[in-house]
Amino acid sequence: MIMPADLEDMIRRRYRSLFLLFFMLCSLSSQVISAVSARATLRASSSTNSSVVDSDLAALVAMKAALIDYKGILQSWNTSRGSACGGGWVGVKCEAGRIIAIHLPSKGLGGQLAAEIGQLSYLRQLSVHTNAITGAIPVSISSLRNLRGLYLFHNLLTGSIPASLSPVLQALDLSNNHLSGAIPTSLSTSALLRRINLSYNNLSSTIPSTFSSLARLQALLLSHNQLVGAVPDFSQLANLQTLDLSQNLLKGSFPALQQSSAGASQTGAIVHSSATSSSKELFPSLFTLNLSHNALTGKLPSQIGELSSLLQLDLSNNKFSGAIPPQLANITELSSLDISHNNFTGSLPSSLSSLGNLTHFNCSFNSLTGKVPKLRHTFLASAFVGNKGLCGFSPASLCALPPAPSPETGAANSSGEAAAASTGEKKKKLSALSIVFVVIGIVIVLFLLMCLCSLLFICCCRRSGESMAKAGFTGEKPGQAGGGKGEGAKREGDAPGGKLVHFEGSLGFLADDLLCATAEVVGKSTYGTVYKATLEDGNQVAVKRLREGIVKSQRDFEVEVTAVGAIRHPNLLALRSYYWGPKDEKLLIFDFMQGGSLAAFVHARGPETPLTWQMRMNIAIGAAKGLVYLHEEQKMIHGNLTSSNILIDAHQNAKLSDFGLSRLMTQAANSNVIATAGALGYRAPELTKLRKATTKSDVYSFGIVLLELLTGKAPGEGPSSGPTEGTTMDLPDWVASIVKQEWTQEVFDIELMKGRAPGDEELINTLQLAMNCVTLAPLERPEMSEVLQQLEQIKPDLKQ
């Protein structure tokens, strides 16, 4: 029998159990609801991310459909080959699932750029240059607000430039197309712009004056268009390095060199120094100023001498007039000055003789008068012709004798002569025999003086010849670099029978000066031995004595060496003179480069000598410019490009040497040069069979040099650590093996981190460019012009 108290207790326990069960059910329901909610949120988030990626994917698909893929490069743009961001799509780079770069240069693409490209809202770089893309630049590109680099040069684009572009744009290169219309003034809103290249188009507007607000602008290239109006005042652009406005229809006066004072004209007129006596240094970074082939008028301002960093100044083919300001001589680093085909008057300032670095000069076809001052280098007569009153620049342009005496002076002289004659009648005249004795005495004295001078000259040459004999400068036979006793003295009689020919920019020495110079060996190559020769006046030249038996006949040699001697470019080592001795000694004379070779600079410098990223890129770009000039302007193959043949001047600029020497040599000698280049690791693989250098083999050699600059290793050196330490390996193979193992950072020279360390993107892009240059198939290598453009894009803020 259940008592009431027990029943009450049982009921209480049962209610407590039901309450606990209800609480557990509520808690479980809450967890289920949270999990479902989280899963729904995750699904929604995944759906959102998928839609973003899909939008980028749709833009790529539309872009592929609009392009004509002649070479099948875009076959990888296929969803069956993986995600667009999986690394399998050629030229596509992603970050956090979004497309940030499209890089398809020199891929043989045609067709057009799709308007859907504007959907790639995270795109930072669009590089489809050096293709055959036609049509207009899509207006939708204006919506790419994260775009930093736009490279569409060397295509067939038409139409106008989009009215607005990304506010964070840093580099814009639309050169070598068929664009027309105006240059958008809205470009000045892209305040981060460093490089603008719109050259080689059909643009026909004025140059926007608003460009003066682009404080970071370093290069403004607008040449070969139809631009009109005056040159704006760019004096506020303190970082400007290159200004090229050549081959346009510009008018007005020389551009303003400093900020105009209050109330002064802003139309490009000259502002005198009195207006801004306390202004800052003018264009402290400007290296190149080219205003040639326009219709500019007026006088050159004296303030032009304040452009202290200027290296190249070209004002040719304009309508400038007045006197040439002597302040030009204040630009001490100036290496190239062209003022030809203008209306300049007066004389050439004597102060120009102080420009020691001036190696290219042209003042032809003006109205200049007077005697040409003595310049540091000798220039051809073609640099001065077309000035009727100019004299003293060649043997055929002798300056006139002093003017004849006036009639009054002549009358006075006649009276004096008459008086002397009357007085002379009173004096005894010399007999004919006395006159004969006097003449004979004078002849004997002159003969003795000549003998004495000859003895002194021979003694001088003997003293100098002792040091020369040790170096084997002249008269050296194969295998006798030291020469025998008195070897240098034997050469002294060869000078009169030899032939010394000077080219433009020579120091104007004589054969005797050269043969009596002190000399020391600084290098040897398959072509011969190189000496540093110090002339009597202290000037130093580099002399390459060609080995016997490798040169063509004298007639063929003179034809070819004359063509090589006419080549002038800032990044080519100019041939100044050559000497063909009476016993077939053949000497080539060049400027002496104090910086030595790139090989020594990279591998043999002391720890106190830095080799920063900026220096390496400056050398690479300079060498590339020299090769482009040889390939495109001279139609010439270098054929022997190594780091030893890239020389460094006092300003750490690259100058290519040994170019054109293959033209002077026999076929057997050139084959030997190719074989030697192969042993050093610079020879393109196809030359093993062809034995004939091409522009593509030059590109391969340049790629090796570029790898040398990136890795700090010489070709054939091999790794200094790791499992292959101590072995000899082809430099491209070694780089490829490291990259394949995803140890890319191990490739780069550790000293690159000194100074202003480069970004990862700069290093990777340069490495990729170098590997493209050394690809085994010659047809797949880029042209040197493309290599140069890509180098300038990788480092657009580099000092030129």
**DSSP assignment of 547-598, as one string?**
PTT-B--HHHHHHHHHHHHT---TTB--EEEEEE-TT--EEEEEE--TT-BH
Show the domains of the chain with their CATH numbers: 251-256+281-396 (3.80.10.10), 482-591 (3.30.200.20), 598-794 (1.10.510.10)
**Listed ranges 270-274, 381-385, 621-625; the one with the highest mean pLDDT:** 621-625
Which one, of 558, 616, 583, 577, lies nearest residue 753 by Cα? Answer: 616
Sign of the four-CA dihedral 606, 609, 610, 616: negative
Per-residue pLDDT tens digits for 74-100: 988 887 767 788 778 888 888 888 899
Query: For 459-481, what is the mean pLDDT?
Result: 43
Q: Decide if 554 contacts 320 (C-beta within 8 A).
A: no
Confidence of residue 37 (pLDDT cuts 50, 70, 90): very low
Q: Which pLDDT value is given to residue 698?
A: 93
∠ CA(73), CA(78), CA(83), 5° rounding?
A: 115
**Quick one: average pLDDT of 312-323?**
94
Question: How many C-beta neighbours within 10 Å does residue 580 have?
Answer: 19
CA distance 349 to 289: 21
| C-beta separation of 187 from 195 below 8 A | no
* Better-scored residue on pLDDT, 319 or 759: 319
Tokens of 296: 């500019």
Residue 473 has pLDDT above 60, yes or no: no
When mean pLDDT is compared across 75-89, 289-303, 323-337, 636-650, the lowest value belongs to 75-89
Asked whether residue 493 carries a pLDDT value surpassing 50, the answer given is no
Q: What's residue 315's pLDDT?
A: 96
pLDDT of residue 492: 34
pLDDT over 60 (residue 459): no
Beta-carbon contacts of 703 under 8 Å, excluding residues fewer than 6 positions away, are 732, 770, 771, 772, 773, 774, 781
State the pLDDT at residue 52.
39
The whole-angstrom separation of Cα 369 and Cα 400 is 12
- Of 95, 41, 121, 105, the residue nearest 73 (C-alpha): 105
Is 244 a residue whose pLDDT tops 90? yes
Residue 298 pLDDT exceeds 50 = yes
Q: Indicate yes or no: pTM above 0.85.
A: no
Phi-psi region of 176 (alpha: psi -120 to 50; beta: other; left: phi over 0): left
Q: Name the more confident of 508 and 188.
A: 188
Would you place residue 181 in the very low, low, confident or very high pLDDT band (cuts 50, 70, 90)?
very high
Between CA 551 and CA 528 the distance in angstroms is 11
For residue 580, the cross-strand partners are 499, 586
Q: How far is CA 761 from CA 272, 745, 794, in A?
A: 45, 12, 8
Mind listing the pLDDT tens digit for each residue in 326-340?
999 999 889 889 999
The pLDDT score that the predictor gives to residue 746 is: 77
pLDDT at 111 over 70: yes
- The residues with which 336 forms a beta bridge, in sequence order, are 312, 360
- pLDDT classification of 755: cutoffs 50, 70, 90: low
Lowest mean pLDDT among 41-50, 346-355, 488-497, 635-644: 41-50
The pLDDT of residue 483: 33
Q: What angle do CA 58, 60, 64 make, to 5 degrees?
A: 115
C-beta separation of 82 from 53 below 8 A: no
Question: What pairing do the DSSP bridges indicate for beta strands 518-524 and 528-534?
Answer: antiparallel
Strand ranges across the sheet with 297-298? 297-298, 319-323, 343-346, 367-371, 389-391
Confidence of residue 478 (pLDDT cuts 50, 70, 90): very low
Q: Tell me if 361 sits within 8 A of 373, measured CB to CB.
A: no
Helices (H) and strands (E) in the chain, counts: 14, 29
| Across 109-113, 271-275, 395-399, least confident range | 271-275
Confidence tier at 259 by pLDDT (50, 70, 90): very low
Mean pLDDT lowest among 197-206, 221-230, 518-527, 616-625:
518-527
Distance CA 459, CA 490 (A): 12
Local confidence band at 737 (pLDDT 50, 70, 90 cut-offs)? confident
Whether residue 800 is predicted with pLDDT greater than 80 in this model: the reply is no
User: What are the tokens at 413?
Assistant: 């002289």
CA-based torsion, 704, 709, 711, 713: positive or negative: positive
Share the mean pLDDT of the chain: 78
Q: What is the dihedral of CA 697, 701, 706, 709, to 10 degrees?
A: 180
**pLDDT at residue 700, rounded to an integer:** 94
**DSSP annotation string for 377-393:** SB--GGGTTT-TEEESS
In this prediction, residue 56 carries a pLDDT of 87
Segment 15-22 mean pLDDT? 58
pLDDT-derived band at 106 (thresholds 50, 70, 90) equals confident
Angstrom distance (rounded) from CA 224 to CA 417: 70
Query: Residue 311 above 70 pLDDT?
Result: yes
Grade residue 689 by pLDDT with cuts at 50, 70 and 90.
low
Alpha-carbon distance 656 to 705, whole Å?
A: 12
CA dihedral 201, 204, 205, 211 (to 10 degrees): 20
pLDDT given for residue 593 in this prediction: 87
Interval 1-11 mean pLDDT: 55
Q: What is the DSSP code string of 481-525?
A: SS--TTHHHHGGGGGGGSEEEE-TTB----HHHHHTSEEEEEEE-
Could you tell me the end-to-end alpha-carbon distance of the chain, in angstroms, rounded to an integer? 112
pLDDT for residue 489: 31
590: β partners:
542, 575
pLDDT above 60 (res 269): no
Of residues 30 and 639, more confidently modeled: 639
Give mean pLDDT, residues 570-574. Answer: 91
- Inform me whether the pLDDT recorded for 676 exceeds 70: no
Q: Round to whole Å and give the CA distance between 748 and 705.
A: 14
Q: What percentage of the chain has pLDDT greater than the value 70? A: 73
% pLDDT > 90, the chain? 33
Flag whether pLDDT at 638 surpasses 70. yes
Question: What token pair was written down for 628?
Answer: 């482009």
pLDDT in tens, 47-74: 333 333 678 889 999 999 999 999 888 9
Report whether pLDDT(132) > 60: yes
What is the C-alpha separation between 195 and 182, in angstroms, rounded?
18
Q: How many CA atoms lie within 13 A of 271 on its CB side?
A: 23
Q: Which tokens belong to 220?
A: 């403004």
630 token code pair: 């040889």
CA 673, CA 689: separation in Å to the nearest integer?
14
Nearest to 149 by CA among 109, 112, 100, 182: 100
b (16+ CB within 10 A) / e for 131-169: bebbeebbebbbbbebbbbbbbbbbebeebbbeebbeeb
- pLDDT tens per residue, range 779-790: 889 999 999 999
The CA-CA-CA angle for residues 370, 372, 376, to 5°, reads 160
Q: Of all helices (H) and strands (E), which one includes residue 102?
A: strand 98-103
